[in-house]
Structure 1
Amino acid sequence: MFYYAVFTTFTILIAGSNTKLIRSLTHKPKPCCLPKQHSSQMIISTSMVLPDNKLHSSYSTYNFSYDSDRGSIALKGQATSIPDGQKSNWWVIQSMKDGQTYTIDQDSKICHKSIILQKPFYCIPETAVYQYSSMYGYGDKQIIGDTWLIVEDEAIRYFTVSGDDLCIPLNGNSYSQNPTTVNSTTISNFIPKILDPSAFDISEQCI
């Protein structure tokens, strides 16, 4: 069940806010592209209806890496099932070059391979609808965050990026069907470089 939940969470992915609106719809920003290389930490809360109609919820913390030169995304971290508190450690690599997602259960050392069905986006698409802007941070350390509505097939996403030329991802919420899933993602400790290049090395269990 954990593998299914982690895989589904990853395929539909993607700082605190005082929610003060500062930009009107008549002065909307332009869509931007995320930095081509970056690392961050992600906290993901997930609720989904599994194929047996049971509800599964989890809380996960991941170290996230993206490298456009490799055409890959990597996550390493721990997921905690709610309410039983069961913990599991995961390493996920999504390779655009071979169209595969590698989900490694680091506890059992088992690798699950699957075809990428829904590619993550690296740029806010032109079809995205600007929603609002708000201030993120506290005191004199605040930045503007622009929130966009992105509709893709059976998924609806609200995605927030910094309102400057850096286009730093801040948070996201997604809603999808098949299975019915709700995700909330908070992104922090963003750095515009790869901190752990080994996160992209496909484990021998997957070869």
Structure 2
Amino acid sequence: MLYYAVFTAFAMLAIGSNGKPTISKANEPKRCCIPKQFSAQISTSHGVKLPDGTITASYAYYNFSYDGNRGMVGLKGVSFSIPDQQQSNLWIIENRNDGQIYTIDQGSKQCQKSQMPIQPLSCIPGIQNTATYLHSSTYGYGDKQIIGDTWLVTNNNIVNYATVSRDDLCVPLSGHIFLPSVLTALTTTDFTPKIDDPSIFNIPAECQNAV
């Protein structure tokens, strides 16, 4: 369970530059950067091929907070493995300053420390410089609607189809991320442009000696 949980924290922000500029299309929307601070609810699904060849999958939902000023990402929620539906209460902390991800099983109080697979960026340089605009769609109904713009962003071996809101907030609405041996889909709801609970970034005692 902990092996593929570590991909959740960085997947939401795994939108980087591959250094290959693209030509802007005449009808593409304005390129944007995600907020420096926000909280949201996210739901994720993962498919992973483990080093021994085993295929595993999971579905999870989390309270998510991002603080770009401090370089921290925090998640707390529930993950279900598929197909056995094993449930784990997880707390994930990503410290972008030292490149570490801490994944805590809150039931067993076990902490796993791992290195971030890539270095996510507080802005979205891919959408600023190297992303390819694909299409737009409308979210909501009636007079409660927002437009989401979908971009194809590649970064080395990572491919991300990322959808962000077209308003000034540039909310990351969804992502479909493809890494070697890992597939991830992510949806964002209940966005607020602030940190709901700053303690979500506090690394607990059980992680101090984690390896």
- The TM-score normalised by the length of structure 1 is 0.89
Q: Which letter does structure 1 place at the counterpart of 2:34? A: L
Q: Which letter does structure 1 place at the counterpart of 2:149? A: D
Following superposition, the deviation at residue 30 of structure 1 comes to 2.7
Q: Which letter does structure 2 place at the counterpart of 1:206? A: C
Partner of 1:117: 117
Per-residue deviation, residues 68-110 of structure 1 (Å, max 9, x unmatched): 2211001111100111110001111111222211111111111
SS in 1 for 2:26: helix
SS in 2 for 1:195: coil
Taking the TM superposition and a 5 Å limit, the aligned residue runs for 1:1-207 are 2-14=1-13, 26-124=26-124, 125=126, 126-177=129-180, 180-207=181-208
SS in 2 for 1:27: coil
In structure 2, relative to structure 1, the CA distance for the partners of 1:57 and 1:117 (3 Å cut) is: closer
Contact 1:34 1:167 in 2 (8 A): yes
**RMSD (Å), alpha carbons:** 1.4
**Percentage of pairs with the same residue:** 48
Contact 2:42 2:61 in 1 (8 A): yes
CA distance in 2, matches of 1:103, 1:183: 17
Contact 2:9 2:74 in 1 (8 A): no
CA distance in 1, matches of 2:173, 2:10: 18
SS in 2 for 1:93: strand
- Runs of 4 or more above 3 Å deviation: 8-14
Contact 1:37 1:66 in 2 (8 A): yes
More strand by share: 1
SS in 2 for 1:63: strand
CA distance in 2, matches of 1:98, 1:65: 18
Following superposition, the deviation at residue 55 of structure 1 comes to 1.2
Following superposition, the deviation at residue 11 of structure 1 comes to 4.0
Q: Which letter does structure 1 place at the counterpart of 2:100? A: Q
Contact 1:12 1:118 in 2 (8 A): no
CA distance in 2, matches of 1:121, 1:131: 22
Contact 2:149 2:166 in 1 (8 A): yes
CA distance in 1, matches of 2:34, 2:10: 18
CA distance in 2, matches of 1:12, 1:36: 16
In structure 2, relative to structure 1, the CA distance for the partners of 1:79 and 1:35 (3 Å cut) is: same
CA distance in 1, matches of 2:8, 2:49: 12
CA distance in 1, matches of 2:175, 2:120: 13
Contact 2:10 2:94 in 1 (8 A): no
Q: Which letter does structure 2 place at the counterpart of 1:77? A: G
In structure 2, relative to structure 1, the CA distance for the partners of 1:60 and 1:96 (3 Å cut) is: same
CA distance in 1, matches of 2:77, 2:190: 15
Gaps of 5+ in 2: 14-24
Gaps of 5+ in 1: 15-24
Per-residue deviation, residues 141-186 of structure 1 (Å, max 9, x unmatched): 1111011111011110011111122101111111110xx1111111
